[in-house]
A = this chain, B = another copy of it.
């Protein structure tokens, strides 16, 4: 089954995923993309008044949430054409090794594009840790294909 733009309704919600955050992956991502000491070193993280102990890069959290999202899209038969951007990306709480992430998403808006073959859907996504604390939110604009017309 394929889900098209027309099948998505404003107010619709989705709940999905489970991503175990490992120390190895936290260190690997940080060493490559965000080598600040509190993402790499236990002592430096303990000195940081916000993190307190080794925590994942916020960009790593965003990437893990993207993986949860793409897996879910594939599960429900939703393909996208990409995304134009994200607003209100907020890192609400540190994400620590040993946490397990899940996500909830809500459709905030759906609009037809100037191109007849696609539209833009605005999703607000919230990621939670395994204590049900929200750790990250974002609002993303995603291009979704319209249902092909019979003449197409």
List A residues 48-93 near B (Cβ within 8 Å).
Answer: 48-51, 57-59, 62-64, 66-67, 70-71, 79-91
Is A36 touching B80 in the complex (CB atoms < 8 A)? yes
Residues of B with C-beta under 8 A to A59: 59, 62-63, 66
Residues of B with C-beta under 8 A to A83: 58, 91
Of chain B, the residue at the smallest CB distance from A69 is B34
User: A33-B67, A59-B62, A66-B57 given as contacts; is B90 within 8 A of A89 (CB)?
Assistant: no
Of chain B, the residue at the smallest CB distance from A137 is B85
Q: Which 9 A/B pairs are nearest by Cβ-Cβ distance? A: A33-B63, A85-B90, A86-B89, A33-B67, A59-B63, A50-B82, A34-B66, A85-B89, A59-B66
Chain A interface (Cβ < 8 Å from any Cβ of B): 29, 32-38, 48-51, 57-59, 62-64, 66-67, 70-71, 79-91, 115, 117-118, 143
